[in-house]
Chain A
Amino acid sequence: EAGVTQFPSHSVIEKGQTVTLRCDPISGHDNLYWYRRVMGKEIKFLLHFVKESKQDESGMPNNRFLAERTGGTYSTLKVQPAELEDSGVYFCASSETISGANVLTFGAGSRLTVL
């Protein structure tokens, strides 16, 4: 089966611009997560969708970040306007069921560089 796909793999933008990251989860996976790793630090949770609904968005840094998952398939994460501290690698992951014992399947990540 196809894995989790993320696009773009790398984006370089200037401060104040807008960037939209996309994640295509494994088909049939209702649960979709966004995580971020900034400057070699911990990978931190951003938010979690169950189908098209936001289950938990407690990790979203501020209102410059907007995540959507229309139709419960792919998801987008928009940063508007981007700031320098938003630079990092954004990971998307999906899982089939809600069990906390289940393994998340991660995408390769989208590296965002804000200049």
Chain B
Amino acid sequence: AQSVAQPEDQVNVAEGNPLTVKCTYSVSGNPYLFWYVQYPNRGLQFLLKYITGDNLVKGSYGFEAEFNKSQTSFHLKKPSALVSDSALYFCAVRDPFSGGYNKLIFGAGTRLAVHP
């Protein structure tokens, strides 16, 4: 079955320190991978995506993610965390059997808490 796993319910990091939010996936074929973020009382906002090409993808707000095919991972990273990065982060992969549409399979989400 196609799936996405986010093994950490919550990640705590001090402001200024690097952060990593983990994501692994299990899909057939070449994955289309996405990260979305949800701030309180807001909708999901797109951060970045990997479709093809360079394994290191840069996105909004200084975030980046590294696609690792052998480990089937797509971890989200940021070199220096800000308190304002505190939010709920979702990893997603396109369902390869969706006929080319954007039907996404999401992970359960990871809550990032950045402490001053």
CB interface residues, A 51-107, toward B, < 8 Å: 55-56, 91, 93, 95, 98-107
User: Which residue from chain A places its CB closest to the CB of B5 in the assembled complex?
Assistant: A42
With an 8 A cutoff between CB atoms, is B44 at the interface? Answer: yes
Given known A-B contacts A100-B32, A103-B34, A33 and B102 have beta carbons under 8 A apart: yes
Q: Is the CB of A107 within 8 A of B101?
A: no
B100 interface residue (CB < 8 Å to A): yes
B67 in contact (CB, < 8 A): no
Q: Are B103 and A43 in contact (CB under 8 A)?
A: no
Alpha-carbon separation in the docked complex, A108 to B32 (Å): 24
User: How many A-B pairs with Cβ below 8 Å?
Assistant: 76
B11 within 8 A of partner (CB) = no
Question: Contacts of B92 on A, CB cut-off 8 Å?
Answer: 43
- Give the distance in Å from the alpha carbon of A105 to the alpha carbon of B104 in the complex: 12
Q: Contact: B49 with A100, CB < 8 Å?
A: no
Contact, CB under 8 Å: B102 / A44: no
Q: Which of B12-58 contact A (CB under 8 A)?
A: 32, 34, 36, 41-46, 49, 51
Can you pick out 30 interface pairs between chain A and chain B where the beta carbons lie within 8 Å of each other?
A3-B43, A4-B43, A6-B43, A31-B101, A35-B104, A35-B106, A40-B109, A43-B90, A43-B92, A43-B104, A43-B106, A45-B95, A91-B43, A93-B44, A95-B102, A99-B100, A100-B102, A101-B49, A101-B51, A103-B34, A103-B46, A103-B49, A104-B46, A105-B43, A105-B46, A106-B36, A106-B43, A106-B44, A107-B43, A109-B43
For the A-B complex with A43-B92, A100-B32, A102-B102 known, give 7 more contacts whose Cβ atoms are closer than 8 Å: A31-B101, A40-B109, A91-B44, A99-B102, A100-B101, A101-B51, A106-B45
- Give the interface of B toward A (CB within 8 A): 4, 32, 34, 36, 41-46, 49, 51, 90, 92, 94-95, 98-109
